[in-house]
Structure 1
């Protein structure tokens, strides 16, 4: 069994432009390293290459099993994919009659006197309205038409879409229709199925639907990245491999296998806030303003002695909820 005294511990901040690493060596000393996040002529992934550099390994050389105890990582992979709209093609399945609900949103006017309103681009490519409706108290207003659901989802699948977000009215409380359509989507072959009552089990169709769409849009890209890193670090299913954990938007760590798109949007920035706050407290300051400027995005934060949490937010024009 790998022990902390005989192995490396590594912390990584994978940004859009640079990747920074801090590591504790087996002898207890701290070392740092910095490299470009994108340099395809030299390496496929900056985080893994940074680990190799710190350990004195050549590019492409396998990381020795048992040499690393754990890797804890914050990343802006999902953040930048959202900013640059580089997620996977997604279809939204929603209650019939509500096809424009997410587009309409809440009709907020952040700039009250603006004459030219520019609406954010929707993340889903297409929407399919499913005949179904459950009332607020669980009564079946319209029975689920499974044949229509299958036909419409099959058409989206045949068009090359592999991610689906499912959000039905009152689905946060009454799950049966969402669950059944998820089963149909799985049977058709969708590789990413984000169901609103699992992703954000709270009332309000718009914010719940938006969060499900974000999850469907980003999770495949994030999963490919996480799997690649885990494979290169020998972390996936290997008892001698390191424990790989990722920073979530809520400031906490989660196992790589549990890391989802909707929890990754502020992974990097959240790590910066936590690091800033802890460092400031150690230095005797309890009121701090943080300025985290990267090559792709800049984040500003403040800390007033305790962490403040927001359960609904807007990132790159996209509404999100915890």
Structure 2
């Protein structure tokens, strides 16, 4: 049986939310430590993830985090998802396969009040849809390759219209 591999450097996993940032650090000896801090605190730090790493490493604010100390940093965030769901930030563009433009609007066709005369649909998360000329088969095979030039042209038009 092989002995577990150890590293001479720290490993970090970070979850950056809209309010708090959680940092989990794995020391070179394999033990785990955690730190929770505000995601936004401009009086104390510019970046919560870096501030959390510095804290766990025992570094002072502004002191560099050098590669000889850190093996890896893996980070996930809900900030973009929250901004999308809360309708904050830039308008969103959806790119989908040609023929599926209305798939998210149609959704599952659930209508809990089937006999209502006026159907109120939920607001869509995107402002505009671009249909990409391409097709992938049911088993993942390429049926029609992506027309990159056509898609690029449509994306630039959306960009010129203010979608970022």
TM-score normalised to structure 1 length: 0.37
CA offset at residue 33 of structure 1? 0.9
When the two chains are superposed, the root-mean-square deviation of aligned CA atoms in Å is 3.6
Give the number of the structure whose residues are more often helix, by fraction: 1
- Pick closer, same or farther for the CA change 1:23–1:122 going to 2, 3 Å: same
- Paired position in structure 1 for 2:110: 108
Distance 1:8 1:75 in 2: 21
Q: 1:7 offset after TM fit, Å?
A: 1.0
CA distance in 1, matches of 2:89, 2:47: 18
For residue 14 of structure 2, what is the aligned residue in structure 1? Answer: 12
Distance 1:93 1:27 in 2: 47
User: Partner of 1:175 in structure 2?
Assistant: 144
* Residue 26 to residue 94, structure 1, CA distance change in 2 (3 Å): closer
User: Which residues of structure 2 form unaligned runs of 5+?
Assistant: 138-142, 157-162
User: Partners in 1 of 2:88 and 2:18 — Cα distance?
Assistant: 13
CA contact (8 A) 1:10 1:72 kept: yes
Name the structure 2 match of 1:186. Answer: 152
Q: 1:71 maps to what in 2?
A: 73
The residue aligned with 1:40 is: 42
- Judged with a 3 Å threshold, the aligned counterparts in structure 2 of structure 1 residues 27 and 126 are, in CA distance, closer, same or farther, namely closer
Equivalence for 1:126? 128
How far is 1:24 from its partner? 2.2
Find the counterpart in structure 2 of residue 59 from structure 1.
Answer: 61
SS at match of 2:121: coil
Residues 103 and 167 (structure 1), Cα distance of their counterparts in 2 relative to 1, 3 Å cut:
farther
Q: How far did 1:183 drift?
A: 2.5
Q: 1:298 corresponds to which residue?
A: none
The answer for unaligned runs of 5 or more in structure 1 is 128-164, 191-216, 221-322
Q: Which residue of 2 aligns with 1:23?
A: 25
2-structure distance, mates of 1:66, 1:103? 50
Q: TM-score, normalised by structure 2?
A: 0.65
For residue 65 of structure 1, report the CA deviation from its aligned partner. 1.7
